[in-house]
Structure 1
Amino acid sequence: MTQEINLKSEITATQTGQRLDQTLAELFPDYSRTRIKEWIQTGSVYVDGVVQTKPREKVLEGQEVQVEAMLQEETKAEAQAIDLNIVYEDDHIIVINKQAGLVVHPGAGNSDGTLLNALLHHCPAIELVPRAGIVHRLDKDTTGLMVVAKTVEAQTHLVAALQAREIVREYEAIVQGTIISGGTVDEPIDRHPTKRTHMAVVHNGKPAVTHYRVAEKYRAHTRLRLRLESGRTHQIRVHMAHIGHVLVGDPVYAGRPRPPKGVTPEFFEVYMGFKRQALHAIRLELAHPFTFEVMSWQAPIPEDMVTLTRALREDTKANPADY
């Protein structure tokens, strides 16, 4: 599938002397600098009717610039009929409440059956958008809200908003140990130096900031509300492990489940049966990429976390001396 792009504008006085790629990014902000540079280098950009192939070429006031390009299919994956819990959709974006067990992108061990495959089936035109419009991820077993762009223009705006920290993403998590008060973890994250499937706090890693506050305390656990400033892989899981409060059920960072002493058989069954990280993207807020209206959504806590929370409350009531 392809889509024809035809853009036209005139260089202003303030843009005189600027690079061509910089100027086009200003004139056509719906498209990324990378895409604009590609269009220039492939001969799709004309200045006063003459093809220009050098992104560094300087421009002058009054020159007419034109882009005649084709948006090619970006995503080489199979469309698959996979149920999606769509909480909002219009011509520009889709907001999804992702279920546990759904991988976002195809990869090693997950060549299909992913959110990307589902999006291609639900909205075939999204194959023209890089990564099928996915602008941020949730881990396979993390549930909750994600926004997906249906057009290149919407994706460009959402990626920029994400980088500018203008998209609010809040999570609920249940961690081991009792946390007295909220705080912030400001520690860089990168690949673990020896365990290549793990992430870790690394001194020369990418900046990562996680804010958290206490939502509810239990005998030996805490329910937290968290907000991200950055979006590193496994960020919440790594940051909580770093401060000594791993997420309940986390198969990567928590190790073998360790229920507190003196629990009932019912609690033991619920706790040991929780096989994923207790993490849910509960709230999403952003400015719509087309209307710029500030929009917000909330996703109900999934049933398995509700059951776990109920069990933790009952355990706390049954062991008041330890609380």
Structure 2
Amino acid sequence: MAQQIELSHHIQDHQLGQRLDQAIAELFPDYSRSRIKTWIQAGQVRLDGEVMDKPRHKVMGGEAIQIQAEVEDDNRWIPQDIPLDIVYEDDDLLVINKPAGLVVHPGAGCPDGTILNGLLYLYPEIGDVPRAGIVHRLDKDTTGLMVVAKTIPAQTRLVRALQKRKITREYEAIAIGNMTGGGLVDKPISRHSTKRTHMAVHELGKPAITHYRVAEHFRGHTRLRLRLETGRTHQIRVHMAYLNHPLVGDPLYGGKAKPPRQADDVLVQGLRQFKRQALHAAMLRLDHPVTGEQMEWHAPVPGDMVALTELLRDDQAKYGEEDY
């Protein structure tokens, strides 16, 4: 059965020069670019009140977008019995410790088997909440804490708190290279101009701020503690790569293994076999959306990052400071 939808937004300034279908896909990530292209070609998209039927039309920024279209009921969003590590739950929200390899939300190339499908299985009523209560996402291979709203009022308030930067999220990471001290990266981020799956620092992108401090030095690597002010896609990964210190194992942003000089085979193999970005959402702090009580959760660093850290410590103890 078809569902009538009406969507409206404004093209953002940082989208200057983007194709119309690309810009709309960024504004409405719940809908695929191919579906949006079909809507445009069918004359169901208006730009500043004028029907626009060319997906390749280049936008200027500031235009009003109106979409009136039909979508078939999305049978991808089906309940599935997927184990979820729930570390806290009450009537209004729950906090999940996400493992590596689990996608948060269905999308292109991953129609099911996600946290969202698992939430619908455990809490059928959460289907009435936008995005099944998901307030923020973690990348597929990033581990750690994320909050989910169980009711519409809780979801509305948590999203507002996130937008106002009132939710604190801290991460553990292992970066390539020797970082001598902490700092701040305040660089806007947008979709990469040619690589659809990548993000990049771009002066016309959305504001993005990452705080970081050095937690531990190794030869040729640094363990970091990071805090997000904003929540852009791949933000930590992009900002660390921008500093020329990509995260170990990051397949998109240059995290190829770089063993220090004279490293033992066990460390060399440990680095080469670490096939995901070494990034973990370790702490989450927020005010409860109903009671107002400040709440805080911590998730231990997962075993693969702990094991790699121990290898780096052993190497540091054996060879000392020579690579600094």
Question: Given the two structures, how large is their TM-score scaled by the length of structure 2?
Answer: 0.76
Structure of higher CA gyration radius: 1
Q: Does 1:322 align with 2:323?
A: yes
Q: Name the structure 2 match of 1:101.
A: 101
Q: Is the Cα contact below 8 Å between 2:103 and 2:114 reproduced in 1?
A: yes
Q: Is the Cα contact below 8 Å between 1:75 and 1:128 reproduced in 2?
A: no
Q: CA deviation at 1:318?
A: 1.5
Once the two structures are TM-superposed, the CA of residue 134 in structure 1 deviates from its matched residue by 0.3
The verdict on how the C-alpha distance between 1:240 and 1:262 changes in structure 2, with shifts beyond 3 A counting, is same
5+ residue gaps in structure 2? 1-72
Is the contact made by 1:177 and 1:245 (CA closer than 8 Å) also made in structure 2? yes
Alignment of 1:52-201 (within 5 A): 77-201=77-201
Residue 230 (1) aligns with residue 227 (2): no
Aligned partner letter, 1:78? I
The 1-side partners of 2:259 and 2:129 are apart by 46
- In structure 1, how many angstroms separate the alpha carbons of the residues matched to 2:142 and 2:158? 21
User: Aligned with 1:306: secondary structure?
Assistant: helix
Cα offset, 1:109, TM superposition: 1.1
Aligned amino acid, residue 322 of structure 1: D
In the superposition, the TM-score normalised over structure 1's length comes to 0.76
Q: Which moved more, 1:295-304 or 1:259-268?
A: 259-268
Structure 1 equivalent of residue 57 of structure 2: none
CA offset at residue 261 of structure 1? 2.2
4+ long deviations beyond 4 Å: 73-76
Q: Which residue does 2:291 correspond to in 1?
A: 291
Query: How big is the shift at 1:122?
Result: 1.1
Q: Is the 8 A contact 2:247 2:255 kept in 1?
A: no
Secondary structure at the counterpart of residue 322 of structure 1: coil
C-alpha distance in 2 between matches for 1:261 and 1:148: 45
Question: Match of 1:299, as an amino acid?
Answer: A
Q: Which amino acid aligns with 2:195?
A: K
SS at structure 2 position matched to 1:154: helix
Aligned to 1:18: none
Alpha-carbon distance between aligned partners in 2 of 1:269 and 1:199, rounded to the nearest angstrom:
29
Q: Which stretch of structure 1 is more off in the superposition, 255-264 or 296-305?
A: 255-264
For residues 75 and 156 of structure 1, the distance between their equivalents in structure 2, rounded to whole angstroms, comes to: 25
Does the CA contact (< 8 Å) of 2:174 and 2:221 recur in 1? yes
What CA distance in whole angstroms lies between the structure 2 residues aligned with 1:234 and 1:315?
30
- The residue identity in structure 2 corresponding to 1:201 is V
Q: Call closer, same or farther: CA 1:115–1:189 in 2, change over 3 Å.
A: same
Hey, what's the Cα distance between the residues in 2 that align with 1:256 and 1:305?
A: 16
Deviation at 1:269, TM superposition (A): 1.7
Q: How many residues align?
A: 251
Q: Would the aligned equivalents of 2:76 and 2:111 in 1 still touch at CA under 8 Å?
A: no
Task: Indicate the residue corresponding to 1:308 in structure 2.
Answer: 308
Question: Do the aligned partners of 1:168 and 1:286 also contact (CA within 8 Å) in 2?
Answer: yes
Separation of aligned partners in 2, 1:242 and 1:322: 22
Structure 1 CA distance for aligned equivalents of residues 140 and 312 of structure 2: 24
Equivalent residues of 1:80, 1:117 under 8 A apart: yes
Q: Is the 8 A contact 1:75 1:130 kept in 2?
A: no
Q: Which residues of 2 match residues 233-312 of structure 1 at below 5 A?
A: 233-254=233-254, 256-312=256-312
SS where residue 244 of structure 2 aligns?
A: coil
**Distance change >3 Å, CA 228–CA 75, structure 1 → 2:** farther
Flag structure 1 segments of 5+ consecutive residues without an equivalent: 1-72
Q: Cα distance 1:129–1:75, how it changes in 2: closer, same or farther (>3 A)?
A: farther
| Cα shift readout 1:116-156 (whole Å, capped 9, x = no counterpart) | 00110111100000000001010000000000000000000
What is the letter of the counterpart of residue 268 of structure 1?
V
How big is each residue's C-alpha offset from its partner over 1:157-209, in whole Å with a ceiling of 9 and x where there is no partner? 00000001000000000000111110000000000011111000011000000
Tell me which amino acid in the other structure corresponds to 1:127: G
Amino acid at match of 1:95: V
- Asked whether the equivalents of residues 93 and 154 of structure 2 are also in contact (C-alpha less than 8 Å), the reply is yes
Quick one: which amino acid aligns to residue 304 of structure 2?
A: D
Secondary structure of 2:308 counterpart: helix
Secondary structure of residue in 1 paired with 2:88: strand
Question: Equivalent pairs: percent with the same residue?
Answer: 63
Q: Closer, same or farther in 2 for the Cα pair 1:154/1:74, shift >3 Å?
A: farther
Give the C-alpha shift of residue 110 in structure 1: 0.6
* In 2: Cα distance, 1:75 partner to 1:181 partner: 49
By how many angstroms is 1:83 displaced? 0.6
